Amino acid sequence: MTGKSQLGDFLQARRSQLRPEDIGMPTYGERRRVPGLRREELALLAGVSASYYTRLEQGQSLSASPEVLDAIAGALRLDESERRYLHDLARADRNRTRGRRPAPERVTEAAVQLLEVLADVPAIVLGRRSDVLAWNRLGHALFAGHLDPGAPDLSAQRPNMARLVFLDCHTRDLYTDWPSKARAVVGNLRLVAGQHPQDAALHALLGELSAKSGEFASMWADHRVKACTVAAYEMRHPLVGPLTVVQQTLSHGPGPNMVVATTQVGSPSRAALALLAQAITQDTVPADPAQSAPRADAG
């Protein structure tokens, strides 16, 4: 995957998704061979020549200015996240280099301390490719209680949330509206791919998911971009039943992000989360030696 081909694919996909009636363009009942706007129509909306836009969509022009990109973004009705993604793709197009494996991502001491403070809130630390770098006990219990709690510390076994959402049946069953969660994951990966076009490990993950999941391949081909910083999800936890959580991404600049799951005060979901916390506490409390030791008069 190169920034060049991705830029053209993105423009073509979004153009095909924008119908003439969406922008008030009369069609006079004509039948179109392909869905969406024609290149000439999109170019007219953006205020650029049809030939220039065609070269840009075909990857034959690497010189689109920020002003031209903003004009095309406006014509395509892109939101702010999609607009940034478009600029990222164009920047990658101009500065292409060979893919390389970036330095390993690590959890900062500050993030470790925050995980400890958030003992009553499910929290996980995710790298940019959605690798789980760390989690607190409640975060592990809510999102991946079927996995080894020490898995994030082992690079060879480190869970990846995107992989879990698409390839793990437990995680799939966890979300009542799984397609919504899946689309959010894909949309976020789109953003990351635009920001880090030379990340070989990211492209390997995308290739694996495309090969193993037809649903991922279909959603990826849709070219939807989404910054999933805050979203509410209904979950069906195997231990405590249904609950609704708000997943929020806490970001403080470059580096891994922390995702926390909160519930409404006084809600059944808050009670379910408290029950989950109680369950994992009971599982880890050591047995009372006085109760587990054999009695002197036994036998």
- CA–CA distance, 280 with 93 (Å, rounded to integer): 49
What pLDDT sits at residue 282?
78
Neighbours of 100 (CB within 10 A): 9
**Distance between CA 285 and CA 15 in Å, rounded?**
58
Sheet holding 241-250, edge to edge: 132-135, 123-126, 257-262, 241-250, 230-237
For every residue of 238-267, which 3-state class applies, written as one string?
CCCEEEEEEEEEECCCCCCEEEEEECCCCC
User: pTM surpassing 0.85?
Assistant: no
Over pLDDT 90: what percentage of the chain?
Answer: 56
Please give the average per-residue pLDDT across 268-272, as a whole number. 97
pLDDT, one tens digit per residue, over 200-255 is: 899 999 999 999 999 999 999 988 887 778 999 999 999 999 999 999 998 876 67
How confident is the prediction for the chain on average, in pLDDT? 86
Give, for 282, the enclosing helix (H) or strand (E). Answer: helix 268-284
- Backbone φ and ψ for 294, nearest 5 degrees, come out as -70, 140
Q: Name the β-bridge partners of 236.
A: 242
Residue 8 makes CB contacts below 8 A (sequence gap 6+) with 56, 57, 58, 59
CB 219 within 8 A of CB 249: no
Structural domains in the chain, sorted by start: 3-94 (1.10.260.40), 109-284 (3.30.450.180)
Model confidence at 51, in pLDDT bands (50, 70, 90)?
very high
Q: Average of pLDDT values for 3-8?
A: 66
Does the pLDDT value for residue 295 go beyond 70?
A: no
Q: For position 96, what pLDDT does the model report? A: 61
With H, G, I as helix, E, B as strand and everything else as coil, classify residue 275: helix
pLDDT, one tens digit per residue, over 81-124 is: 899 999 988 887 666 655 556 677 889 888 999 999 999 999 99
